[in-house]
Chains A and B, each alone.
Chain A
Amino acid sequence: MPVIEKLPSGKQKKNVDARAALLIIQILLPFGLYFSLRWANQAPAMVIAALFVLSMVFVTWLG
């Protein structure tokens, strides 16, 4: 057993999965935003930005 491991319960494991998905979304969305802005596509940029804000709200809710 490693020195400082915390074994996750089922709920914690689901939380880790949700957080991992959120992390990937939060890393990828800004790149979509970058290329939308670069190609002067305001509408997709707005949608991506809204999704990013929602993901941040979800992070806060998830705790």
Chain B
Amino acid sequence: MIESLRLMSVSLNFINWMLAFSPVLVVLIMMLGFHWGGARAGGIAWLAAVLVAALFFGAGFELLAVAQIKAILLSLDVFLIIWMALLLFHIADEAGAIRMIGRALPGLTEDRVMQSLLIGWLMVTFIQGMGGFGVPVAVCAPMLVAVGFTPIQAVAMASLGDTWAVTFGSLGTSFQTLMAVTGFSADALAPYTAVLLGIAAFPSGFLVAVIGAGWKSWKKAIPPVLLLALVMGGVQYLLATNGMWTLGSTGAGVVGLAVGFLLLRLPVYRNHTQARPELSLTDQGEDQGKSVWLALTAYAVLVALAFVVNLIPPVKAFLSQVQFSLDFPAVSTRLGWVTIAGPGRSINIFGHPGAILFYTCVISLIVYRSTGYLTAGSLKRILGRVRRSGVNSSLGILAMVGVASIMLHSGMTYLLAEGLSLSIGRDFYPLVAPLIGALGAFITGSNTNSNVLFGVLQTNSAELLHLSVPLILAAQTAGGSVGSVLAPAKVIVGCSTVGLAGEEGVVMRKIIGYGLIPIATVSLAAWLIHILR
């Protein structure tokens, strides 16, 4: 979000720390305590952030204005993805794809554990490999609903299934950022990062399974989760430590899906004895005569285009020629926190993940229209639904990103992390390092932004405390990976595609409770590695 920051003098004490934390506290209280939606809670948190920044952190008019304008650029970057993901989803839904997935998957397995894992964990991991900021949740949550999970279960499962895959997802953007801001090479950072995320894969998959199939299924869930976590974590480790970290999550997702489908050959995971008549393949309803494969064209095209655009350099270079950004002046608070001049978020107009989704939408519309899967009035219905789902979510994201940007520009976010890092001694710092990463990602909604914000702080803290810097940085980005999925901005994206817009507070309450488990696992693993080194 911010290209470069420099701290001059911000006094760190408990009152300042609590003041800096207050906008986050407002979001948590309103969403978790009062079940407010993202837009309403974000709006009041934004007003709180402006007041606290102006009254207690010395933010002036120009600083607040610059922070908000940068927030709009970042929000536009996110809106492109959300609106296009919603468009793709509603096109596929109107064509019958989502209903048909809902009927086809029980044909492969009636086992709720395996259904949960296949969509909520393996497919989410695979999609995270190629596209970020909520795309995996936006795509997979509706599929889970179609299979018969409740919307709240669906968002929680897809979000938690994504927790371990973010750092090496989106072609390794967060990891690349960590290297760039700290100056450490992939050789130094990849081993610890891949190990911590591999360990986080187990609670991630386990939670998806028990949320989907119920806690009574925990014994049944452990063998496939353990096997798949080992396989996916191992593949990610091998790719990351051999220079192919850009494909860490994609490769893990592909191999995970292959092993997952192989597991379905075992009678215990096919479980056809529990057939549910309402999902029978013979009950085709309005989709009578349609081909499942043709209905899935939208998602096949998405995967193909994502690979082509991201993995063929000339195509990527061609589409990256037009970028939109704005230049900003240096701004500073009266307390001495300086944000250096530079460009804001750059939006790659034709190579943006949202643009890839748009190309997919156009191709899918043509295919579905020419095959009769969409009728004359379909497009109007689709656009109406996209508008209804997208508007409220976008208002929430705009407010949340504004809060994050104001906190960053007034030095509040840095003060939060500094307070955490300085109050913890050497022995326990590895326990706290992932929490700092998670906090940054929770506030900004992004693992990448958390690494930008706290990469240098974590490096300095590790050096001062004579700790392994690569281990602490790995803990930072692994914590950021989990924290980004729990962020209000991302939960809003997930809720928008399953008809839960405005009810994000209920979903967040569920997700945050479960999300503490993978964060605690990463913290414990980092601490154990520190002790055993």
> Is A37 a contact of B65 with CB atoms below 8 Å?
yes
> B37 on the interface (CB 8 Å rule)?
yes
> B388 on the interface (CB 8 Å rule)?
yes
Q: How far is the CA of A57 from the CA of B61 in the complex (A)?
A: 18
Residue from B40, B93, B102 within 8 A of A60 (CB atoms): B40
> Is B385 a contact of A5 with CB atoms below 8 Å?
yes
Q: How far is the CA of A33 from the CA of B370 in the complex (A)?
A: 46
> B395 on the interface (CB 8 Å rule)?
yes
> Is B98 a contact of A3 with CB atoms below 8 Å?
yes
> Is B146 a contact of A57 with CB atoms below 8 Å?
no
Q: How far is the CA of A62 from the CA of B66 in the complex (A)?
A: 26
> Is B43 a contact of A56 with CB atoms below 8 Å?
yes
> Is A53 a contact of B391 with CB atoms below 8 Å?
no
B146 CB contacts on chain A under 8 angstroms: 3
**Chain B residues bordering chain A, tally (CB within 8 A):** 45
> B68 on the interface (CB 8 Å rule)?
yes
Q: How far is the CA of A52 from the CA of B90 in the complex (A)?
A: 32
> B46 on the interface (CB 8 Å rule)?
yes
B497 CB contacts on chain A under 8 angstroms: 4
> B394 on the interface (CB 8 Å rule)?
yes
A60 CB contacts on chain B under 8 angstroms: 40, 43-44, 47
B394 CB contacts on chain A under 8 angstroms: 23
> A8 on the interface (CB 8 Å rule)?
yes
Q: How far is the CA of A33 from the CA of B68 in the complex (A)?
A: 9
> B214 on the interface (CB 8 Å rule)?
no
Q: How far is the CA of A49 from the CA of B67 in the complex (A)?
A: 12
> Is B145 a contact of A27 with CB atoms below 8 Å?
no
A52 CB contacts on chain B under 8 angstroms: 68
CB proximity of B465 to chain A, nearest CB, Å: 41
> Is A30 a contact of B391 with CB atoms below 8 Å?
no
B44 CB contacts on chain A under 8 angstroms: 60
Binding site for A on B (CB under 8 A): 36-37, 39-40, 42-44, 46-47, 50, 61-62, 64-66, 68-69, 71-72, 75-76, 90, 93-94, 98-99, 102, 142, 145-146, 151, 326, 385, 387-388, 391-392, 394-395, 398-399, 497-499, 502
- 7 example contacts (A-B, Cβ-Cβ < 8 A) are as follows A2-B90, A2-B385, A23-B394, A27-B76, A34-B65, A59-B42, A60-B44
